[in-house]
Amino acid sequence: MSEPASKLRADKWLWQARFFKTRSLSAKLITGSHLRINSDKVVKASATVKVGDVLTFPQANQIRVIQVDGIGTRRGPATEAQTLYTDLSPHEPRDLGKPFAERGGRPSKAERRIGQQIKRGELE
């Protein structure tokens, strides 16, 4: 049998580590110059990733900072994928306001009228 690889394409590693649903999505992120490997911008999906590298990229509404701990041989289950990296991202709580259900749902007609009066400066 062949021994495990010491390097892997960046798009394939991001896909195997389950940061992206498809390999083409990870390649699209890389070709858009949104990935940094050890603080160097990468523009080609064929850039190699090795153990010890630090990857920085945007995902959803946050910036992910990931240290590569292993090179996988397949895209396995999530528990297996989580062993490939250490998350170094700062976990800042984002204040997005209260969830819709906690706000009481949709305002009533009377509440909307009061809101409109406040906007117009009729109420303080």
Whole-number Å distance between alpha carbons of 7 and 24: 19
Is 44 part of a structural domain of the chain?
A: yes
pLDDT band at 5; cut points 50, 70, 90: confident
Is 108 part of a structural domain of the chain?
A: no
Is 122 part of a structural domain of the chain?
A: no
pLDDT tens across 53-97, in order? Answer: 999 999 887 899 999 999 989 999 999 999 999 999 887 655 556
Residue the block writes with tokens 């990733």:
49
Helix (H/G/I), strand (E/B), else coil: 7 = strand
Is 69 part of a structural domain of the chain?
A: yes
Specify the number of domains making up the chain: 1
Q: Which domain holds residue 16?
A: 7-91
Q: Is the pTM of this model over 0.85?
A: no
Is 105 part of a structural domain of the chain?
A: no
Closest CA to 55 of 76, 41, 70, 75: 41
How is the beta sheet containing 40-42 ordered, strand by strand? 40-42, 35-37, 54-59, 62-68, 85-87
Which CATH number fits the domain that encloses residue 80? 3.10.290.10
